[in-house]
A and B are shown apart, each in its own frame.
Chain A
């Protein structure tokens, strides 16, 4: 194996190894969704595809934005933009835990030397109206993945249930590369002058976006964008309604995009500290209502299994 492809030598090698592993399990390997999201779960390949009866398997990297976690590039572990690797299998196969453990072996974790544990951690996303039961997966005391059996998404029962695996890529890479600071990660697996680190790629972005998230984002504009996204979602949901019995909803995916937008705008407003504790609940509620409506619309499309 070249250093570039070695999951223990480069960040991209880790991604390639996970993609290869899950491709072998019949997953479609997708690219990141081209919108700002807080977690890989927001990708319609997970949120919407986990609804309805159709079997589905996908794996992808998703850049995830958590405006509040920005630390101006000063914290060795915290980032406002980081990568999640997501695998979703519907219905959840009986050997999913085993597959997960084998995926760790595929990225260079020797299972005879490490202590892998499944520790209770039930997952809930109030903005997506979603919850599931599962674990945080520990490797030698470190949480490296989240493992969830979705029970509900967008307020709808999952039938059948999907299994979702989310790997925190930076943390895993730091572990397998033996690095203490995320910015020291080797990104491309080269040495010397050819070496490009995670810091080379992202440090400046962390600094600039931290400024934006905490100081410069125009809150009046953000509030307006939130309202616009919400209104557009409502408009699309209504406009896409089938005209006759037996027809499909025509705009479930574009409507869901607006829901994603609203969710991210809420996160930005939250980071700017302009949403009070009581208002917070009502914003979460508004996004959830959009997610629910989009989920319901999706079930009336071909992808959602409608006849």
Chain B
């Protein structure tokens, strides 16, 4: 069966776009072929900095023939209908149509449409140009003389040539003929830009990949990555060094070369005084090079590994020397940033945060720092952190954002702050918290253990969440531009993994008042400023007068908006519940019981919620638990049915012990009383296991009740009393969880 080989050679494709583009090419071409009846055995796509390639194996030589019967009008239908039919079916006259008799509808015309399958190359010549014209590049461009035409070809960078052949192994493949943007398809390509620039002819895939290799092009990105990774490791090892792994850098570098040649350069030992993370960030971001450690040591070696694209007669000496020059200059800059940053105290940087807008509606970073510091102080006692240290750490936590180093390498935020805090003699916990307050950044990031770090990390995330909730900027669908899901997950992990008791509703309620105050104040100042602009008051006097008025407005508002804050708190808690489910599911824990616990009133302490969920899960794993759940369902179903007759809430009153006429009723009533007492006591001790154990003891009484007692007794008084007893059962289970929310 024949194969298709397609290569699109262009000027350099951005590294970050290559993999997706190759996958898109494969998907679009193979889908288009299948849609046209051309199934295939296999397909593979490739990308290098200059080419996208696709190999589709085992295509038929032509499309299958198709036969279709198209039903027309009845015999004797009006002329217009007949003409329409002839036209749509492509028939010259009715003589070409069949007449078919139907017992109900009579006779009608049928056109027999037979379409012979077209040769595959003809189909390809039609399909491929349209795919190229509409290719989904994230960014594309026009170029050259034809670029003034509105329908000009767009590509990621100028497209230079197209190779497109089709044929079986055994025969000479043919060129799939088409032309697009002035480029005619052919059967030639070019090798490495410098080492093998000439054009050469290609017959089929095996030949293509081998010829490219001879022309210094490694087509497969995985192969390039493995060459870079192995060679870098070997070169490092030979010097007694250990390569610092960097998958993202490896991906990028493999997209920058067609013929990887790994070389090792060095830099002056004296640069090793700069923090290792800075050295790595400098060399990585600017030079796309790897760094290495001395074997068995944490500190970096004064070496870097670069990936060139050239084999040179001097074995890379010139290339190494050039790269060393640049690395030297970059490290000199970094050293300068490091040393000049150390000269400024972190608190002296704070005023600059007042001019950095965090979010238009949430104010500046400076305002944010004040809020987070106050919140961290409030949270500290819950976590067992020193409130002064928590406040201090929060106060300094964002100062490094305006340091030279973080300006240059934003990914070093927090870490640099920690270095600078330590250098200016801050308490070790404070310095650590400056870095760790950003943690955890995701499901696999480390959760800090120092209580000060935990307090500031929680305050930072809660401030973000409450702020965006207060201005109604919640995540929707796949859109979460402020990474609020990640922040909520951070709170969940901090609380659960450090066993922090944090009543969220009250915290969120209090904090949302701060945001509302901010918005009110802004609006008020905006409204009254013009009034005062024309007065003779000095600027200071104006501020005082306005400030006093704002205070009064805010006081009134806090009462007036109580409900709004409560809504924010409840809504945000629901978001936490949602995130908690995702978190537990990812951990393989039971997440389906969360609703059963959150349905109870006042459940806003995530740690207690999870403990209760776990205990409930264990109860429901036991026979007693399963039967109790079944009994509860039965009771609930009966109550629901009977409430329809008697009206909602008809059985809420307490049952009358005097009317308990069967023994099983009396036993159940007694059990309920005991269990109610036991669970309440256990819950007061936060002993969820104990509460579950107590509730489980209801099972025999419930089973016996349903076994022996007819709820809907003939006697109306007995019936109502029994329903009230069931209602008491439902209420009792509600002390531990809302069983009606348990799934399965």
Binding site for B on A (CB under 8 A): 53, 76-77, 91-94, 97, 101, 110-120, 122, 132-135, 139-142, 149, 151, 158-161, 163, 175, 180, 276-278
Contacts and interface: CB of A to CB of B under 8 A. Distances in A.
Contacts of A53: 148
Contacts of B309: 115, 117
A140 B147 contact: no
A116 B310 CA distance: 9
Interface in B309-333: 309-310, 312-314, 318-319, 321-323, 325-329, 332-333
B180 to A, nearest CB: 15
Nearest to B310: A115
Contacts of B139: 122, 133
B86 interface: no
Given A91-B147, A120-B15, A120-B16, A161 B322 contact: no
A132 B332 CA distance: 32
Contact of B147 (A97, A160, A175, A278): A160
A133 B148 CA distance: 16
B364 to A, nearest CB: 10
Which 8 residue pairs spanning A and B have beta carbons closest together?
A140-B322, A120-B14, A159-B148, A118-B12, A141-B323, A161-B147, A160-B148, A113-B318
Given A117-B256, A120-B15, A175 B322 contact: yes
B545 interface: no
B366 interface: no
A149 B194 contact: no
Contacts of B239: none
B141 interface: yes
A142 B325 CA distance: 9
29 contacts: A53-B148, A77-B333, A91-B147, A92-B143, A92-B144, A92-B158, A94-B144, A94-B160, A112-B312, A114-B312, A115-B309, A117-B256, A118-B11, A118-B49, A119-B12, A120-B12, A132-B141, A135-B12, A140-B319, A140-B326, A141-B326, A142-B322, A149-B141, A160-B145, A161-B144, A175-B325, A180-B328, A277-B356, A277-B357
A159 B145 CA distance: 9
Contacts of B357: 277-278
A3 B157 CA distance: 39
Of B145, B257, B309, most buried by chain A (CB within 10 Å of CB) is B145
Given A77-B329, A163-B143, 11 more contacts: A76-B329, A91-B144, A92-B158, A110-B318, A114-B312, A115-B319, A119-B12, A140-B322, A141-B288, A141-B306, A160-B147
A118 B11 CA distance: 9
Contacts of B321: 140
B72 interface: no
B142 to A, nearest CB: 5
Contacts of A94: 144, 158, 160
B308 interface: yes
B592 to A, nearest CB: 47
B145 A91 contact: yes
Of A117, A139, A276, A278, most buried by chain B (CB within 10 Å of CB) is A117
A135 B50 CA distance: 13
B302 interface: no
B571 interface: no
Interface string B274-318: 000000000000011100000000000000001011101110001
A148 to B, nearest CB: 10
Interface string B107-148: 000000000000000000000000000000001011111111
A137 to B, nearest CB: 10
Contacts of A175: 322, 325
Nearest to B50: A118
B75 to A, nearest CB: 60
Nearest to A121: B14
Contacts of B14: 120
B355 interface: yes
Contacts of B146: 160
A141 B289 CA distance: 9
Contacts of A151: 141-142
A43 to B, nearest CB: 22
B322 A114 contact: yes
A114 B310 contact: yes
A246 B258 CA distance: 54
A115 B265 CA distance: 14
A40 B731 CA distance: 80
Nearest to B265: A141
Contacts of A118: 11-12, 49
A180 B157 contact: no
A151 B157 CA distance: 12
Nearest to A158: B147
A199 to B, nearest CB: 18
B144 A160 contact: yes
Nearest to B255: A120
Given A132-B141, A159-B148, A141 B158 contact: no
A161 B313 contact: no
Nearest to B356: A277
A25 to B, nearest CB: 15
Of A97, A117, A140, A141, most buried by chain B (CB within 10 Å of CB) is A141
A168 B11 CA distance: 22
Contacts of A158: 147
Of B146, B156, B329, B356, most buried by chain A (CB within 10 Å of CB) is B329
Interface string B327-343: 11100110000000000
Interface in B407-452: none
Given A112-B194, A115-B309, A278-B357, A93 B144 contact: yes
Contacts of A149: 141-143, 157-158
Contacts of A93: 144
A140 B318 contact: yes
A92 B158 CA distance: 10
B147 A159 contact: yes
Interface in B1-41: 11-12, 14-16
A161 B329 contact: no
Contact of B355 (A76, A77, A113, A276): A276
Nearest to A159: B148
A117 B306 CA distance: 13
Given A97-B11, A161-B142, A113 B147 contact: no
A133 B288 CA distance: 21
Contacts of A277: 355-357
Interface in B511-567: none
